[in-house]
Structure 1
């Protein structure tokens, strides 16, 4: 029997779940088997086990807003089930709520919470690309790294250790920041598993400063530290959307000297980025690659809720073109950082971030497309 809609509950598909007999269940393409227990009609329960015949795997599928109000329930990314660990997951959303490394406007520590709240708008399928992530991967929200908001170096240690554990399970992390400092300890863990990786870095800023106010760790320095530690395959690093005033006539000279491809925002104005991403895919090749997307890559007209806004940025359409252009790459992790909710009371910046994270999930390896 195939049923096409959700009822009053989600099914997390990690094992049997119980619901009342009258409840409808689950989304397109999920085979249900039922077994009744108990004798009293008012206590009758239905055991439901769910599987997909094509793969034999069980999946987490978020509830449909056709049957479950978006405003109900505990906020998780995309209203997915919460899991305490990444065990058994192909991909996981994880929050890193810090802004201790921020150089200007604070508030990014509240980014993961607001992104989760706005993500209630997300649905199960990507109508633009026809990706079906929840028919492809076992994915859940595994909560936040327990950061130390008083000590940035200790926070980096905690992040690194948390991601070692996530990656050891074979799970691909989809990270909600937090300021961009978090990319450094995450990439330490990623490189420990995969070796030096390629990087697609979408940002208004290069984040390759050496020392800022006497400190080597902050949201303006993560990729300098990554290069120094050999975490990146520098010939497979692309930075897109860089712009703004600088401290020297050529603010990106060091980056190019390392072998990075630097795509300043002027190269992106008034055009589709589909051709650019074809070139990026050729440069990145089949090796492991990490995608790091700072929300301030977008013009502040679209994403004002961030700490270091720069005018004349990318459009959301171009952001989608960049992420969708990563399809077919060996993505081993992604992040979306620098959402600062206090600077956008509409929630639109976090809503944009939630959609970009969904798009990232849709281009992970082994995603099914209709």
Structure 2
């Protein structure tokens, strides 16, 4: 088979498409003939050798990738024979191996792909979709809500816009450039603005002088700092990323937000899992995400690359040249 391997931490060019041994499923595992593999921003950090939560740095050489969809083609000892030949999708957790024509996974983590879903859509929902639904647990959206969504053309942002609009909320989408704002508008945003323009905040105030009730923040930095001033009293600031760096807030800024009743909460990690509940909250969120896509309520935007062009996919993702969920296809 062929796979994408990383032999040394560093730039995207360090990802090489090359022959690799066919993986053999261990007890309780299956092997999947991969039809789609998800690419996450975290993958680019691990490739550079940047240590940080939640994933540890892999041992090298490694085959990156933690989200795959395809068809079960081999079983390890003890795996249920009913999986053989079944289209499945799985999140591999912290185990790498997804950027390949074949990958192994624990059978107890598999989901059968719902009828009507293509592998690329399923792989988008197993990771990006589950995170989106986890974030939405903290947002009470409905008529009267005004949702402010930076990075609205990204994988999570696209799904947030769709969900909020279907819940009856007014959606203000922020994205970088006319192509991305057009995508946000097509997904249902009531107002789609280019946050690289200096007047975007004034446009939000003009359309929604009462302020937004919730800020879905994966960006941080100066965009989030400006967006905080556009929130209504009592609004929720839900944080699940910081691609633009820390928010430049002074002690006086924080005091002013507190006085207005604006609450900031990091909704990733234990908080998300605790809110989901159940014996296996991560799997519960995955199941819900797949069901949302199968029902047609959520439609992830996809940016597809051939597996051999994984380095290009990483480079484009880091340069913010992608929209939606980035997917590799062998």
Shared fold by TM > 0.5?
A: no
More helix by share: 2
> Structure 1-normalised TM-score?
0.31
